[in-house]
A and B are shown apart, each in its own frame.
Chain A
């Protein structure tokens, strides 16, 4: 167990708590940067997919994990980012400008759309955002002149400083572009959490009434959280568009919204790590199922055919088990294991035991 003695205010808001922690993250960064040289083309694509999901996960994590507002409509903002990015590219805007611009537009849309529903709490907010997600899907079909309707759009290759980058031609470069966005979002996210705004987000999550008593403008804070969250989701949507190549309204359906929320729950609500852990589960699960099916076939000679929808079923089961047995998700699991070794041999079984709670109605407060 390491104890950090803080001797100044700077020490309290430092990006890394202590030197060894920084060293570990630098090592992780080195591994992630070296990844395209270690993997073959297929797995570079999978790694890129994980990172794109992780960006989307960070977007929703900021809103749900750190501000406490559950959204079942983030596919809508991903769609906004994706479509605006391609529409801008088609109008001749270079990629370096169109990507952040698409993110900002998605963020702006996020703020405007959600302002009226910000008064809602908990389940009501979830239902309202669910409706927004469905309406977006229909809106994409209606706005055919710009969005291509049911046939959808095809993302042109990204061109950065004259370098043409697309997923199949130059998978390594595509990976680095996505990695760059991940790191940029990560820096903004980490720094945001240490600002008064970020502290306000957590205060609103923990108790709206006490946050209000501390002088926090709840509506403004929630709107800002929605804005940041939608911006990040928009960026991930734009990258997803390039990754998928072609997309239409069904790429961003309600199931994607729901899956995003379940993903960050599996990863661990309230931690940035959770977004990445969850992204790994969601993005690698289909491959994992395929590989284990081949393995079963080899082992038993019994030809295990794919049952359609098995990914969703297994994913649902994973979510179920995590909510029941480890509500803090994969990050919580990792945290417990780490604490066990740090405190060895003083770890007690009921160290993280949850307090018994009783629920009161939200209708008659």
Chain B
């Protein structure tokens, strides 16, 4: 029973990592850029939801503010691409990485200046409730997180694999010039994917804030999401979710069975090991290099 509890809380954590990672893997799939500010997007989405929901602030009904926050973050992501990232079109990957790190710094500062540096938590209808499932008693927030994540990953997978827009996004990533020749509006596709990624990060933020408290430095969680993405192979959506779950499951077990100082290094050790021995991740997309 004890182990099961660890598994469930690990899964719920892993889902949040997976969702953050999902956000930047989507951007990577479609634009070949890596958004190092994804963790900060998540943090910002969470704070917007808290600001809309909590009775100390605006105090809207929960579901209304969730929808509003997702929309706001979608527009935010789209505008981010439109105003800033688009100027970097065609520039090297590392330039975009540095740009997004800078954006992350600014977002963290803004969140701290607006909402303060004290941890806040979301007043969600799941908080403190329980779900009975057979003989099991589970936290409603954890069940919600797992369900939402599975649903979201599934639908995004279908979106990328089956729909016209999803395929256009993948094509735009593989070769921008060739995608232009095939009649794909590459820049508009980029704007849309950043918007979509903003929405996903808002959902991740809402789930994270519903489960525990959040403060402006929570964006650094993005680093753990990198581990998830790398394990999953950086280009595969289900792979990323599994990567997130692996990291999420490792943490509670490591802190349970390994000495205190050593447990928090477990996710990063896994990340390094995967990078060293299987640089393409467990679900490789990398193919043989042609010169």
Q: Which residues of A contact B (CB under 8 A)?
A: 70, 116-117, 119-120, 122-124, 126-128, 130-132, 134-135, 138-139, 141-142, 209, 254, 258, 261-262, 265, 307-310, 312-317, 319-320, 323-324, 327, 356-365
Task: Tell yes or no: B167 within 8 A of A by CB.
Answer: no
CB distance from A218 to the nearest CB of B (A): 13
Q: Which of A119, A254, A357 contacts B279 (CB 8 A)?
A: A119
Q: Give chain B interface residues in 221-271, CB to chain A under 8 Å.
A: 223, 226-227, 230, 234-235, 261-262, 264-265, 268-269, 271
Interface residues in chain B, defined as those with a beta carbon under 8 Å from any beta carbon in chain A: 32, 34, 84, 87-88, 90-95, 97-99, 101-106, 108-110, 112-113, 117, 173-177, 216, 220, 223, 226-227, 230, 234-235, 261-262, 264-265, 268-269, 271-272, 275-276, 279, 285-287, 289-291
Q: Which residue of A lies closest to B227 (CB)?
A: A131
Query: Which applies to chain A's interface (DSSP): helix, strand, loop or mixed?
Result: helix
> Is the beta-carbon distance between A316 and B106 smaller than 8 angstroms?
yes
In contact, A361 and B104 (Cβ under 8 angstroms): no
Q: How many inter-chain contacts with C-beta < 8 Å in the A-B complex?
A: 153
User: Complex formed: what's the CA distance from A122 to B34 in Å?
Assistant: 10
Chain B interface main SS type: helix
CA of A324 to CA of B106, assembled, Å: 15
Return A126 CB to nearest CB of chain B, in Å: 6
Q: Is the CB of B235 within 8 A of A316?
A: no
Query: Which residue, A128, A316, A320, has most C-beta atoms of chain B within 10 A?
Result: A316
Name the residue in B104, B216, B220, B275 with the highest tally of chain A Cβ atoms < 10 Å from its Cβ: B275
Contact partners of A124 in chain B: CB under 8 A: 230, 275, 279
List of B residues within 8 angstroms of A117 by Cβ = 272, 275-276
A134 touches B109 (CB 8 A): no
Q: When chains A and B are docked, how far (Å) is the Cα of A124 from the Cα of B268?
A: 14
* Distance of A128 Cα from B275 Cα, bound (Å): 7
Q: Is the CB of B268 within 8 A of A142?
A: no
Which of A134, A142, A310, A362 has most chain B Cβ within 10 Å? A134
Contacts of A126 in B (CB 8 A): 94, 97
Q: A335 to B154, alpha carbons, bound, how many Å?
A: 52
Write the chain A residue with the least CB distance to B285. Answer: A363
A308–B174 CB distance below 8 A: no
A323–B88 touching, CB < 8 Å = yes
Q: How far is the CA of A20 from the CA of B34 in the complex (A)?
A: 45
B166 to chain A, nearest CB (A): 16
